[in-house]
Amino acid sequence: MEVTNHEVGESHLPATNSASEAAALDIIRTETVLSRMPVHNLAKRGNVNIQILKTTAEGKVELKWIVSYSDRYGQARQLAYKLDTIVINHHIDEEGRPLPKMICLGSLRDIADQLDLGGDTNKVRRALRQNASAFITAKFEYRGNDGAKKTLEADFTRYSVVFTGEQLPDGRRADAVYIILNEPYREVLNNAPVRPLDRAYMKKLPPGAQRFYEIISYKIFSAIKNEYPHAKIPYSEYCTFSAQIRHYERQPVQDQMAKVIRPHKQSGYITGVRYEPTIDVENKPDWILYLTPGPKAHAEFALAHGRKPRKSVAAAGTEVGNQQSHGPRSAPREHPRKPLPTSAQPTFDPQLIAEFTLRGITEQKAVELLSKLQPGQDILAQLESAEQTVQQLQNTANPVRNPAGFYISLIERNTPVPDGFETNAKRKAREDKERKERERRAAEDAREEIEWEYNRYCAAEVDRYIQANPAEFESLKNAKAAEDRTMRPTSWPGLTETTARIAARSAIQQKLSLLTFEEFVNHQKQGANFSLKPVAVSPDFDSPPADLQPELLNPDSASELLMETELAIEKVPHGTEEAKDTAPEPMTVAPAPDEIFIDQAGPATIGDAPAATVDRGEVIHLSPESATSPALEPIIELAAEPMEVEPGSDATGTRLV
């Protein structure tokens, strides 16, 4: 809803005493459904766009109310509002229920006199046309006076106007001004509950204060009936249903409402008002107005319900007029009353109660709030979200001055928690989950590390045994190689050699009395030191040091054990020996101590010279002169198709990568 250039006039009403209040009341009964909705622009200048649309959490339209005005006659303003509420509602109340189709309002001059217009009938005629041409689009549910749920969903105007001399629907000429009730409007009037209003009081009030009286009277009566000290209404609700501009800062709100409430305080209808900051469903600043009913409000209620009006009303902590009784007064007769049975007080988790008391809410109020929770209401999330809002507004121009009251209002209204808000419980659950995940990963990393250590331990023990028993290792290896050639005669020789070496080492490992993994872990926990250094090679052992051999299950050479990819590069002088007629098997050769080629293409002579040709898996014994040469790089073996060499020709080198 949009409102521009809004100004509301105010007047000063004389305060009335309770003794003459009942006689001065002019009670009319007004329906409580359509009269709650705004139809008129109460601003002195500017236009208003009345559009109210409320939906449920599921997106269902709960309330739709749109008012469109005639371009010819203009918006229905203050005079049209007074005409509706003072004149037309009075005639509707006098007709009773069910209402007739046509209602006579009297002459234009009579209407002008009731509105204190001094006989200006042109203004009355224009105001009637503005009201009759106000087009309404409505959709909402309401309770009928029989308690049944009813629905209004229609596009309509409320009534049509027939002026004096014009033809009525029955063919007669109108002898006065008539309104013809349109069916949707008439149906609501016949079925809606009614509430009492003081017509004489409304006539004295300026339009803004009168509209406030219409909206708040129902809540004032409810507070008096239930003996509540206050009636309350959100500021945003008042602005919505009175077509008033809405402010979002405290001072403009109080200035705006002071003009509206001042006539009611002067008349004694309201004796006190208090503002409590809150936020609305859209997380915008809002205020709850707590209004203390005054003597006039009690007099209206008593007269409307057939009771004797109260002479004065005083509530603790509220503003009351200076009305005092004089002279002695006999005490009322007291009759003993039977004690009413009390229902068992519900009990709640003390920790849940503590969440309230820590935030300044009394234990009694906490129990009351918990007893009235709605299904699915997350009260802890609402408390924590509200507390976060209080902290955010603490150092701003609009801090929350009563945090406890702010928390209570949000819970009573079941204000939804903003999307993405993380409560303390959710945050703790997330942190616990993340901590457990870190612990699980750390445990997996620790187990993986100890498994690597165990594999190194097993490989070192196998190396020691092979160094001490080289003949047995060679025998096992040759036997495994022969077995593999028998089973797979077309397999690559290099692959057969590697498979045989792995199988021989595996057989030796199974033979050794090694620690189990669990025993190894226990020794590690006790601080046992396992040496992973290989045993020194004996002089007559014709095998390389352990650090030049692939270790079983050693992660540093895992790829070497899975696939033979060793390649030895040796620069051999050309012409040492002619190539044989058949292509040789892939061989392993060591590079000369002074020339090592890496990622280069180098010439090589393939032959069967005893000094240069060895079986795969063996290494060349270094001469004493080369003992002082730099350490050899680890052997890399390349498994590839043997190169075919023509008989009688030298083999050329292949680019090695």
Residues 282-300 pLDDT 10s? 888 999 999 999 999 988 8
For tokens 């002071």, the residue is 258
Predicted pLDDT of residue 24:
57
Mean pLDDT of 573-592: 41
**What confidence tier does 16 reach under pLDDT thresholds 50, 70, 90?**
very low
**Residue with more model confidence, 51 or 580:** 51
How far apart CA 34 and CA 193 sit, in angstroms, is 11
- Strand bridging mode 159-162 / 2-3: unpaired
In this prediction, residues 586-591 reach a mean pLDDT of 41
Tell me the whole-structure pTM to 2 decimals: 0.49
pLDDT for 213 beyond 70: yes
Confidence of residue 568 (pLDDT cuts 50, 70, 90): very low
Q: How many angstroms separate the CA atoms of 61 and 51, rounded?
A: 13
349 CA to centre of own chain: 26
Neighbours of 141 (CB within 10 A): 11
Ordered DSSP codes for 90-139: HHHHHH-SSPPSEEEEE-HHHHHHHTT-TT-HHHHHHHHHHHHT-EEEEE
φ/ψ of residue 361, rounded to 5: -100, 135
Least confident of 166-180, 244-258, 413-427, 587-601: 587-601
Asked if residues 150 and 144 have their Cβ atoms less than 8 Å apart, the reply is yes
Mean pLDDT, the chain, whole residue set? 76
Instruction: Give the model's pLDDT for residue 630.
Output: 42
Pairing of the two strands 51-55 and 102-106: unpaired
Q: Which residues lie across from 155 on neighbouring strands? A: 137
134 beta partners: none
Residues 430, 412: Cα–Cα separation, whole Å: 29
- Tell me if residue 52 falls in helix, strand or coil: strand
Which distant-in-sequence residues (6+ apart) come within 8 Å of 506 by Cβ?
552
Taking residues 7-28, report their average pLDDT. 50
| Residue 169 identity | P
Q: In 3D, which of 504, 617, 514 has the Cα closest to residue 552?
A: 504
- pLDDT score of 179 more than 90: yes
* pLDDT mean over 368-376: 89
Give pLDDT tens digits for 377-389.
988 899 999 998 9
Task: State mean pLDDT over 469-476.
Answer: 91
| pLDDT computed for residue 574 by the predictor | 41
Helix H or strand E segment including 254: helix 250-267
- Whether the Cβ atoms of residue 423 and residue 380 lie closer than 8 Å to each other: yes
Beta bridge pairs of residue 234: 288
**Helix, strand, or coil (residue 336):** coil
Length of the chain: 657
Q: How far apart are CA 70 and CA 63, in angstroms?
A: 23
Q: What pLDDT sits at residue 318?
A: 38
Residue 236 vs residue 28, higher pLDDT: 236
Q: Are 576 and 612 in contact (CB under 8 A)?
A: yes
- Which residues on adjacent β-strands are paired with residue 67? 136
Using H for helix, E for strand and C for coil, what is the string for 128-181? HHHHHCCEEEEEEEEECCCCCEEEEEEEECCEEEECCCCECCCCCECCCEEEEE
Neighbours of 91 (CB within 10 A): 14
Output the six-digit token pair for 502. Answer: 């792995």
Q: Which pLDDT belongs to residue 426? A: 85
Q: Give me the phi and psi of 253, to 5 degrees please.
A: -65, -50
Range with the poorest average pLDDT among 23-37, 465-479, 506-520: 23-37
Distance CA 277, CA 293 (A): 21
Span 512-523, average pLDDT: 88
Residue 548 confidence class, pLDDT cut points 50, 70, 90: very low
Residue 536 backbone phi and psi in degrees, to 5: -65, 145
- Any idea where the domains of the chain sit in the sequence? 33-192, 350-412, 431-557, 565-657
**Beta-carbon contacts of residue 180 (< 8 Å; ≥ 6 apart):** 101, 102, 159, 160, 161, 162, 169
- Calculate mean pLDDT across residues 343-352: 76
Please say if the pLDDT value at position 460 is more than 50: yes
Average pLDDT over residues 184-213: 92
The count of other CB atoms within 10 Å of the CB of residue 388 is 12
Position with higher pLDDT, 340 vs 477: 477
C-beta of residue 574 within 8 angstroms of C-beta of residue 605 = yes
Strand 149-156 versus strand 135-143 pairing type: antiparallel
Contacts of 152 (CB under 8 A, 6+ apart): 33, 138, 139, 140, 141, 142, 184, 187, 188
- By the 10 Å C-beta count (0-12 exposed, 13-18 middle, 19+ buried), 165 is classed as exposed
Can you give the pLDDT at residue 616? Answer: 38
Structure tokens given for 256: 């705006």
Residue 7 has pLDDT above 50, yes or no: no
Q: Which residues pair with 273 in a beta bridge?
A: 291
More confident residue, 536 or 412: 412
Distance CA 235, CA 409 (A): 13
pLDDT score at 649: 44
Return the H-helix or E-strand segment holding 31: strand 27-31
pLDDT by residue (tens digit) across 638-649? 444 444 444 444
